[in-house]
Amino acid sequence: MHGRRNPASWAPRPAGNGTRAEGVAGIRRMRWIACPAIVLALLLCGLPGSGWAADSTGIAVFLDGLPVQFDVPAMIIDGRTMVPFRAIAEALHVTVTWEPSRRLVLAVGERAHVLLQVGSNTAHLNGLPHLLEVPPVIVADRTLIPLRFFAEAFGCRVEWSAATRTVAITSPPLKLVVIGFYALGDAETSSWTDLFGAPFPAKAGGHTDLVSELALGWYTIDAQGNLLTWSPRTAWQRPRGWEEVLSAARQFGLRTEMVVHETETGGLLSAVLGDEERIARAARAIALAAVRYDGVNLNLEKLGLYAQGEEQRRVQESFTRLVAELAPLLREAGRTLTLTLHPPNSSFRGYDYPALGRLADRIIIMAHDYGPRPEPLDRVIEAIELAVASVPRDRLILGISIPSENPESLIAKVGVAKRYRLQGISLWRLGLLTDDEWAALRKAVAVRP
């Protein structure tokens, strides 16, 4: 990890002989032949030469609802939570540098730069001195720093629960693309009312400062590759008043993409994707209709259920051929192409993420429908890590299924997008968010000016 060298004005004077830092440094010079648990147990009796009381019993640290993992456990020293600096800095996307000769931690982020020195009670924040109640220490060859000071220096909110021995850190609101699916809906779950804050066709600002794009689910295809605004299979049709949605979106500065949605039910998608002429027909029709919008959101679901080997390759290549046909047509017209896909760890394996990531402008990862509710964080994180291994993270959107979440779990899902520095999130769907969930989003996502 790279970081800037510290300007001379940041640096405190090195600790002199006989200081408290000298006693703490003795910990580092020991040969650690015992396991970390034994070392930490020794610390419970007080740090050598300091008289400080240390406690490392079961302290959990969460950032935006996600656990932060440390190779040396967080501990409480003289009533202050101390953590290894590198793990917390990486979680906060802060660039850190360790200078062993002076035992300095240098941290540079968008909001601040911080300098800490092992054994020194004086930290420097943006060049100004700040008194620490407990200085950084070295334990098991790891430098531990005061968690609250460090996190708050970079704009975070820090809360401590003594009952659960948990530290909850909330990072500052981050600028993210927020895509809302649909725009009208029925009276009970009206996307329009949820977004614009008034029943259709009236409109106010509502949540248009938080949502930046609309995915408008008004199109499907048939087995011949024809583009339809109604579904023979489900009797769904494009709602009346759809033109008013486009007008309102322009008024409030919202991007729009036309969603083309269909599933493999009854082999419909295989019929299209297995025929070159039908692929070409679908691509041309979609590109022609896209002139009304800023882009296209292609959402063809349930391809390649449990497919393996040659079958998986065949299904993936057939879908990729459609995308390869459509992408240049849209690019020539100045329109974007978004793919809404099942996650890489899904049972539906018909999506070649590396190839599709090269063709499309971005991918929405539908990291949901795993079974449990809220959606399990470990599965969501696994999906994101698989995706970022082959697609640039700034072209990935985390799809969030609102019916599967609550305000607390929603914060954690947004935390995944923030932790992995994705382009943004999508909400399936508008009309289903509660007031508490909107409030949670506003704490995590920066509003548009």
The 3-state DSSP class for residue 52 equals coil
- Pairing between β-strand 104-108 and β-strand 396-401 as defined by DSSP bridges: unpaired
| Residues 227, 147 share a domain | no
| Residues 197, 284 share a domain | yes
Cα-based distances in Å from 113 to 3, 123, 169? 11, 11, 19
Tokens (6 digits) for 101: 């000769």
Cα-based distances in Å from 362 to 180, 388, 399? 16, 12, 12
Cα-based distances in Å from 278 to 41, 224, 283, 402? 69, 6, 9, 34
| Residues 219, 279 share a domain | yes
CATH number of the CATH domain containing 35 = 3.30.457.10
| Residues 331, 216 share a domain | yes
CATH number of the CATH domain containing 301 = 3.20.20.80
109 in a structural domain: yes
409 in a structural domain: yes
Q: How many domains does the chain have?
A: 2
Q: Indicate the residue among 155, 170, 185 that finishes a domain.
A: 170
pLDDT of res. 442: 97
**What's the pLDDT band for 184 if we cut at 50, 70, 90?**
confident
Q: Give 208-257 pLDDT, tens digit per residue.
A: 999 999 999 999 999 999 999 999 888 889 999 999 999 999 999 999 99
pLDDT of res. 139: 92
Q: Indicate the residue among 105, 140, 170 that finishes a domain.
A: 170
Q: Give 33-64 pLDDT, tens digit per residue.
A: 334 444 444 444 334 344 455 565 689 999 99
| Residues 257, 202 share a domain | yes
Where do we find the tokens 């408008």? 216
Note down the domain range covering 361.
177-444
Is the confidence at residue 18, as pLDDT, over 50?
A: no
Q: Indicate the residue among 170, 197, 232 that finishes a domain.
A: 170
Neighbouring CB atoms inside 10 A of 276's CB total 11
Is the confidence at residue 19, as pLDDT, over 80?
A: no
- How far apart (Å, rounded) are the C-alpha atoms in residues 362 and 352? 14
| Residues 440, 349 share a domain | yes
352 in a structural domain: yes
| Residues 186, 136 share a domain | no
244 in a structural domain: yes
Q: pLDDT averaged over the chain?
A: 89
| Residues 376, 284 share a domain | yes
pLDDT of res. 21: 37
pTM: predicted TM-score of the whole model, two decimal places: 0.87
| Residues 194, 110 share a domain | no
Q: Give 257-270 pLDDT, tens digit per residue.
A: 999 999 999 999 99
Phi, psi at residue 393, to the nearest 5°?
Answer: -65, -25
Angle at the Cα of 177 (from 255 to 196), degrees rounded to 5? 55
- How far apart (Å, rounded) are the C-alpha atoms in residues 396 and 421? 9
449 in a structural domain: no
| Residues 236 and 184: beta-carbon distance below 8 Å | no
- How far apart (Å, rounded) are the C-alpha atoms in residues 308 and 335? 34
- How far apart (Å, rounded) are the C-alpha atoms in residues 146 and 199? 50
pLDDT of res. 52: 52
| Residues 224, 148 share a domain | no
Euclidean distance between the first and final Cα of the chain, in Å? 33
209 in a structural domain: yes
- How far apart (Å, rounded) are the C-alpha atoms in residues 361 and 378? 27
1 in a structural domain: no
2 in a structural domain: no
| Residues 94, 188 share a domain | no
Within 275-366, residue ranges assigned H as helices are 276-289, 309-332, 353-359
Is the confidence at residue 117, as pLDDT, over 60?
A: yes
Q: Give 354-390 pLDDT, tens digit per residue.
A: 999 999 999 999 999 999 999 999 999 999 999 999 9
| Residues 81 and 88: beta-carbon distance below 8 Å | no
| Residues 108, 53 share a domain | yes
How buried is residue 297: exposed, middle or buried, by Cβ count under 10 Å (0-12/13-18/19+)?
buried
Cα-based distances in Å from 168 to 65, 68, 95, 158, 378? 7, 10, 21, 6, 19
